[in-house]
Amino acid sequence: MLVQGIEKCRNELSPAHAEVIRATLPLVGANIQDIAKTFYKTMFSNHPELIKDLFNRGNQKQGAQQKALAASVATFAAMLVNENAPLPDHLLSRIGHKHAALGVTEDQYQIVHDNLFAAIVEVLGADVVTKDVAEAWDAVYWIMARVLIQFEKDLYKEAGVEPGKVWRSVKVAERRGLVNGIVRFTIESTDASKPLPTHQPGQYISVRAQLPDGAGQLRQYSLLDAGVQAGRLSFAVKALEATHEQPAGEVSNWLIQNAQQGKELEVSLPFGDLVLDTSSSSPVVLISGGIGATPMIGMLSRLANDKSTRQVLVLHADHSEKTDALAAERHHLVSQLSNAKLNLFYSHGEAGPHITVSHLDLKHVELPHDAQFYLCGSTDFLQAARESLKSMNIDAESVHFELFAPNDWLLDE
């Protein structure tokens, strides 16, 4: 449905508008970072509730959200005016699922539009953003917005809720400390008559934390469960200290410090498009680094639950055995599968069964033929893994990935 909607878009931009976009795309692209920064500054000034209760303040401080906007708008515009450009279906799917997990609704697109176009004029100047230029970019925005709005409505419909009505009151049923400052939380509905739903393996939920300054900040956490039984959901949270590269993890640290057993929280329904194809019988290769193991545990849980006979290869990289928080669960799940193999790569420690002391280098791993590859980890980890797979002539359509940041489509640049 999403691909069909995007393909239809190519015919929605008028020839006159397409000509203007082609002429101005280099200028807009060169300045889109400044446009994005101005846009967010203006929008949060006009609508302070958005940075307080919807947008990730940490990503804003790092400029990550601005990069995400820049990439999405420029990529979509380029696709509209270049019939040879690939369809940005993965990009829009990620945005749509993230919006659904945040409860975004159609009316909020108008807020974005008004502040974005005010920023374009402010950065480029009214002499550049003539009536024709403004109309052409306005058309691009609303074509993209309509695709996303419809896609998000479909996601809400599939979830059985009205648009934006994704929030559920839950309580912490279990809390278990793992290693490396990571805590595993298991939650259940505060209303026994409305249990938390099933989900696809690899999906995530949003958790809303009511912080001391009154902000209701949101973060997404991958689910560790098989997803086949309604009732409880589990996710892992890693404490994040402030560094020169990133601010402290507001929600993650709040959860670890405050979410004791019995604590009530507000979470969204599950969404996310990095999901295991459970209808396929092809081999599966799960590649993860650090806390990127979490969606892979969800996929392994489903495979184990289904008593799958698929060939499964699990590759995980971490600092050491002591920092591999989900090692025990991973070992247990792999042992439940009849045709699974586990390889661990630690940069420190001692070699042992399934353990190699080195960085993960996919070129030195025997990969199954015609497999589906699922990747999750840091930006550098994903870039290296995808480059390796590309050099090995692995079909890009077989490689599915997720980065715990707003910018995973930038990996394609």
Summarised one tens digit per residue, pLDDT across range 6-41 is 888 888 999 999 999 999 999 988 898 888 889 888
Phi-psi region of 94 (alpha: psi -120 to 50; beta: other; left: phi over 0): alpha
- Cα distance between residue 85 and residue 74, in whole Å: 12
Active site residues: 109, 152
Sites in the chain below the pLDDT cut of 50: 407-413
What local confidence, expressed as pLDDT, does residue 181 receive? 84
For residue 269, give the DSSP letter: P
CATH number for the domain whose boundaries are 284-403: 3.40.50.80
Tell me the two tokens of residue 198: 């099933």
Partners of 218 in beta bridges = 208
The Cα 188–Cα 238 span in angstroms is: 20
**CA–CA distance, 68 with 91 (Å, rounded to integer):** 10
CATH of domain 1-159: 1.10.490.10
**Domain assignments of the chain as residue spans, ordered by start:** 1-159, 167-268, 284-403
Task: Give the ranges where 47-177 is alpha helix by DSSP (H).
Answer: 48-53, 57-62, 64-81, 89-102, 108-124, 131-159
pLDDT at site 212: 86
**CA nearest neighbour of 234 among 143, 283, 172, 155:** 172
Strands 312-318 and 340-346: parallel
Quote the pLDDT of residue 240. Answer: 77
Sign, CA dihedral 410-411-412-413, equals positive
The three-class DSSP label of residue 351 is coil
What is residue 413's predicted lDDT score, i.e. its pLDDT?
43
CA distances from 80 to 36, 90, 115, 290 (A): 20, 16, 23, 38
* pLDDT value at residue 216: 85
Task: Could you please state the CATH topology (level 3) that the domain comprising 167-268 is classified under.
Answer: Elongation Factor Tu (Ef-tu); domain 3 (2.40.30)
